């Protein structure tokens, strides 16, 4: 039960690395420790980008440790004038501490927030740092993010021998598994070497005796593209490449087209050598530039059939490409840096791409027409499919809402629409869903309270209009022949705000879509409020009672392993695998069907909760029974 009092004493201030330990999912991917390796690796690569490092070695050790070593300048070992601790200790123990904010020491870098390697420290059982600098080798160690030994000199090295070595062991409490995904790690290391010509990266997997590899590329993107497109029937003998630099940003790309694209075709994007799986500004700029240049080429040579329009997807359907952007102070969507949000960089990439492609197309007209032919074929196929299998819409004319991520199936026996609270949770849900039958519609916070309103009045609300268009039924309409989804699932946070939003949506369906409720089409998803870990066991709890029951069961186990409890602030804090398992996978989720009967008091309860006419009764009820509410 929530406390009645709320005063300054209730405010908790997390210090040091506590925020990371409390909310690890906000700082890294908790499905496995691969992202921790990337955070350490990025610091070494930043040294290489600045010209101070030429060799990096990554070792996966038999005892579960991971070691990343470089020959860069070495972390600072002198005492910070303000914080009175060594530079290396400050970097490892304090969030938002680093040398990459000003741009004085690093022109382009991936470490922007000053939290990466400190997150690794916070989420590791043990972490040891060795620094070679100023003719000496120094060592400092940490345990669960806390300093275990002081920084001390442990030997002498040559005057030109410098660098940093970080060895750490991920804490299984914070991860679904501590097994490293070796294949993905190798792909990342190879890509780093490709994107930073002259850098040598060694990899050793001590768990397998013959698992060693070394990557070094002089030719960079072009050779990587050719190697990755092995087996594809390339259209161009020489891939189109670009390398343009300004004072604050750079763009490199290589692109080709294939008549038979390989199963896993190359379409990778990077920012300051960090992989951006979700793309962002640089990919959008590339698409815009390549589309504009090809459209101009087609228009000038009258290649497009009458009435046919090509889009960026048509141009890139058969393309294989790699994009590497570098810029100062890039703005990422989150700490895992999977999407770039720097709007200014998009225009730089778009204009650069258009200039390069326009010049190339007009000097390679025969090959340009082959590329145009592939795009035209894609557009024609898309147009045919659209005419043959067009999903049912609410009414003729209006397009589906832009935020709706639709599914492929049209079978009402399997299709599901999730109404998700906010864009952040919507983004995770889109990654977690099964695209074939699950659609996602993010909502902007609390919708209009529609309980006292007429159906003709509520459609004036843009949010409700979008929702109506998505489901295919207008408010107050009992004709469900145009219904687009068999199940409509309300997916809101497990906290009080989320319950309020779920209540408003339930009121909308009860009052204005009663036929959907009567047919059993409306469901409420039950997201967990807690995740409880004990050793390798992971369970989720919907509320405090379930949490206490699970903890009690864990305590009965032999050996009594450490129990860690994570309280989810919201759905956006859960990573896609957690969201899939707990609220989206039909095999493991919990759904509650919204139903009404003549014997229940649903209408009177909604009147009490939401009707403006019942404000005095609601106030009286809150005064008498408000303290019984559980959050």
Query: Catalytic: 421?
Result: yes
Q: Which of 365, 433, 402 is nearest to 589 (CA)?
A: 433
Question: Would you state the pLDDT for residue 96?
Answer: 56
Q: Are the CB atoms for 25 and 528 separated by under 8 Å? A: no
Asked about 71 being catalytic, the answer comes back as: no
CA-wise closest residue to 276 among 537, 38, 538? 38
Alpha carbons 195 and 189: distance in angstroms, whole number? 10
Q: Which of 86-100, 157-171, 228-242 holds the top average pLDDT? A: 157-171
Mean pLDDT (whole number) for 309-322: 90
Please state, in angstroms and rounded to a whole number, the distance separating the CA atoms of residues 486 and 437. 10
pLDDT surpasses 90 at 416: yes
Q: Does residue 143 sit in helix, strand or coil? A: strand
314-318, 385-389, 475-479, 572-576 — which is least confidently predicted? Answer: 385-389
Q: Does 235 or 277 have the greater pLDDT score?
A: 235
463 is catalytic: no
pLDDT in tens, 135-147: 999 999 999 989 9
In the predicted structure, residue 626 carries a pLDDT above the cut 80: no
**What is the bridge-based pairing of β-strands 487-491 and 522-525?**
parallel
pLDDT in tens, 201-223: 999 999 988 899 999 887 778 88
**Residue 253 reports pLDDT greater than 90:** yes
Choice among 47, 314, 338, 493 that is catalytic: 493
Question: How far does CA 493 lie from the centroid of its chain?
Answer: 18
Its pTM stands at: 0.53
Contact 224, 201 (CB under 8 A): no
Average pLDDT over residues 396-408: 72
Name which residue leads in pLDDT, 536 or 78: 78
Among residues 421, 533, 573, 581, the one annotated as catalytic is 421
Output the six-digit token pair for 52: 């101070």
Looking at per-residue pLDDT, the higher value among 2 and 407 belongs to: 407
Q: For all residues of the chain together, what is the average pLDDT?
A: 82
* CA–CA distance, 286 with 346 (Å, rounded to integer): 8
CA-based nearest residue to 491, from 477, 480, 470, 505:
505
Residue 490 contacts residue 506 (beta carbons within 8 Å): yes
% of residues, the chain, pLDDT over 70: 87
Orientation of helix 602-610 relative to helix 615-625, angle to 10°: 100
What secondary structure does DSSP assign to 362-384, as a single string? HH-HHHHHHHHHHHHHHHHHHHH
Within 100-142, residue ranges assigned H as helices are 116-122
Highest mean pLDDT among 34-48, 106-120, 285-299: 285-299
pLDDT of residue 17: 76
Residue among 202, 296, 414, 495 flagged as catalytic: 495
Which phi-psi region, left, alpha or beta, contains residue 288 (left: φ > 0; alpha: ψ -120 to 50)?
alpha
Catalytic residue among 18, 126, 202, 497: 497
7 is a catalytic site residue: no
Mean pLDDT, range 51-62, rounded to an integer: 93
3-state secondary structure of 193: helix
Helices of type H across 205-342? 221-228, 281-300, 312-316
Over 90: is that where the pLDDT of 557 sits? no
Share of the chain above pLDDT 90, in %: 28
């Amino acid at each position: 039960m929530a406390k009645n009092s709320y005063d300054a004493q209730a405010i908790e201030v997390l210090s040091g690395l506590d925020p990371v330990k409390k909310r690890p999912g906000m700082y890294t991917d908790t499905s496995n420790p691969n992202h921790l390796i990337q955070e350490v690796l990025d610091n070494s690569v930043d040294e290489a980008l600045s010209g101070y490092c030429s060799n990096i070695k990554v070792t996966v050790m038999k005892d579960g440790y991971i070691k990343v070593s470089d020959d860069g300048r070495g972390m600072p070992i002198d005492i910070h004038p303000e914080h009175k601790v060594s530079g290396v200790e400050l970097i490892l123990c304090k969030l938002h501490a680093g040398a990459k904010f000003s741009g004085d020491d690093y022109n382009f870098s991936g470490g922007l927030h000053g939290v990466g390697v400190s997150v690794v420290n916070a989420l590791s059982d043990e972490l040891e740092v060795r620094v070679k600098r100023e003719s000496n080798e120094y060592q400092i160690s940490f345990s669960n993010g806390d300093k275990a030994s002081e920084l001390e000199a442990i030997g002498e090295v040559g005057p030109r021998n410098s660098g940093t070595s970080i060895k750490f062991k991920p804490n299984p409490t914070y991860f679904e598994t501590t097994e490293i995904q070796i294949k993905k790690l190798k792909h990342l290391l190879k890509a780093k070497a490709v994107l930073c010509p002259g850098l040598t990266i060694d990899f050793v997997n001590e768990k397998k005796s013959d698992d060693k590899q070394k990557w070094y590329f002089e030719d960079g993107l072009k050779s990587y593209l050719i190697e990755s497109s092995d087996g594809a029937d390339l259209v161009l003998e020489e891939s189109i490449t670009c390398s343009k630099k300004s004072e604050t940003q750079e763009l490199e790309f290589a692109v080709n087209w294939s008549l038979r694209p390989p199963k896993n075709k190359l379409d990778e994007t990077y920012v300051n050598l960090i992989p951006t799986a979700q793309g962002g500004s640089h990919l959008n700029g590339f698409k815009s530039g390549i589309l504009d240049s090809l459209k101009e080429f087609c228009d000038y040579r009258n290649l497009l059939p009458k009435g046919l329009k090509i889009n960026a997807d048509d141009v890139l359907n058969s393309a294989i490409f790699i994009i590497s952007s570098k810029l100062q102070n890039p703005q990422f969507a989150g700490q895992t840096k999977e999407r770039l949000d720097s709007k200014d960089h998009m225009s730089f990439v778009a204009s650069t791409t258009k200039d390069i492609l326009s010049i190339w197309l007009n000097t390679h007209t025969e090959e340009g027409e082959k590329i145009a032919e592939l795009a035209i074929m894609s557009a024609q196929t898309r147009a045919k499919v659209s005419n043959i299998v067009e999903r049912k819409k609410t009414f003729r004319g209006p397009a589906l809402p832009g935020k709706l991520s639709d599914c492929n199936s049209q079978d009402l026996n399997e299709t599901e629409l999730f109404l998700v609270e906010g864009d952040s949770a919507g983004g995770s849900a889109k990654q977690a869903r099964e695209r074939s039958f699950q659609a996602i519609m993010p909502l902007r916070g609390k919708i209009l309270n529609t309980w006292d309103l007429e159906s003709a009045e509520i459609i004036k609300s843009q949010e409700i209009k979008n929702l109506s268009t998505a489901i295919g039924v207008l408010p107050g309409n009992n004709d469900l022949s145009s219904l687009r989804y068999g199940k409509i699932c309300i997916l809101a946070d497990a906290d009080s705000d989320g319950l309020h939003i779920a209540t408003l949506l339930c009121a909308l369906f009860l009052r204005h879509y009663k036929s959907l409720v009567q047919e059993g089409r409306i469901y409420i998803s039950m997201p967990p409020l807690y995740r409880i870990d004990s050793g390798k066991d992971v369970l989720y709890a919907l509320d405090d009672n379930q949490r206490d029951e699970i903890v009690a069961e864990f305590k009965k186990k032999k050996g009594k392993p450490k129990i860690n409890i994570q309280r989810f602030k919201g759905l956006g804090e859960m990573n896609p695998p957690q969201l899939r398992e707990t609220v989206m996978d039909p095999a493991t989720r919990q759904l509650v069907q919204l139903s009404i009967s003549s014997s229940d008091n649903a209408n009177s309860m909604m009147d009490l909760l939401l009707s403006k006419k019942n404000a005095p009764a609601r106030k009286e009820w809150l005064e008498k029974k408000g303290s019984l509410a559980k959050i």
